[in-house]
Chain A
Amino acid sequence: GAGVSQSPSNKVTEKGKDVELRCDPISGHTALYWYRQSLGQGLEFLIYFQGNSAPDKSGLPSDRFSAERTGGSVSTLTIQRTQQEDSAVYLCASSLEGLYGYTFGSGTRLTVV
């Protein structure tokens, strides 16, 4: 596609439920990133995928968070047993190589009630 697509745009879930957030990167982009933006905060790095290499998971805040990238394209961020502090906007970005052509999606706003 022309841009990075994220779905759903908004998600409301009950505390304790699991949620899946999806990211479709720009076709051909080898690198994919997830960031979290909490209210009043900057973006916080979560995870990075580059081609077939092992992902950099150093930013995941707890073991309730996991992500996968299938076929080097679509990525899913899963949050298990959601907590209220997980409420945030989750942004995905992709790039062809390094910091050039780094394109963000419009994010998923997650609200845990």
Chain B
Amino acid sequence: AQTVTQSQPEMSVQEAETVTLSCTYDTSESNYYLFWYKQPPSRQMILVIRQEAYKQQNATENRFSVNFQKAAKSFSLKISDSQLGDTAMYFCAFMKHRGNQFYFGTGTSLTVIP
């Protein structure tokens, strides 16, 4: 079975500062994908960033980057230059290679303070 753990229920950050959200996971799979999704009050899940486990290079998308530590089964999200629009719930998720479902963590509520 796959499990995803987010140990920070709530976090806050000053506008323009940097914040890191933590995620750990457990799996016996050797090939898989990891994701961070953002859920604003509109409830729609929006993909922030995706990482293939077989790639050693950490994924980046503009102000968003990850620190993927495969041996430690850790997948943290760093948000640089935080903006008010980044305020949302953030979910870490796992999917097996050729899988058909996500396994989600319980989320981190991020508030960006002006």
Contacts and interface: CB of A to CB of B under 8 A. Distances in A.
A53 B43 CA distance: 29
Interface stretch (A16-24, A70-78, A98-106): A98-106
A33 B102 CA distance: 10
Contacts of A99: 33, 50, 95, 99
Given A48-B100, A48-B101, A99-B33, A42 B45 contact: no
A107 B100 contact: no
Interface of A: 31, 33, 35, 40-45, 48, 50, 56, 59, 89, 91, 93, 98-99, 102, 104-107, 109
A104 B45 contact: yes
Interface residues of B, number: 23
A43 B43 contact: no
A44 B93 CA distance: 11
A89 B104 CA distance: 15
A31 B93 CA distance: 19
Contacts of A107: 43-44
A42 B25 CA distance: 14
Contact of B101 (A40, A45, A89): A45
A17 B106 CA distance: 29
Interface string B70-112: 0000000000000000000001010100111111111100000
Nearest to A100: B50
B30 interface: no
Nearest to A31: B100
Contacts of A42: 4, 6, 91, 93, 104-107
Contacts of B44: 104-107
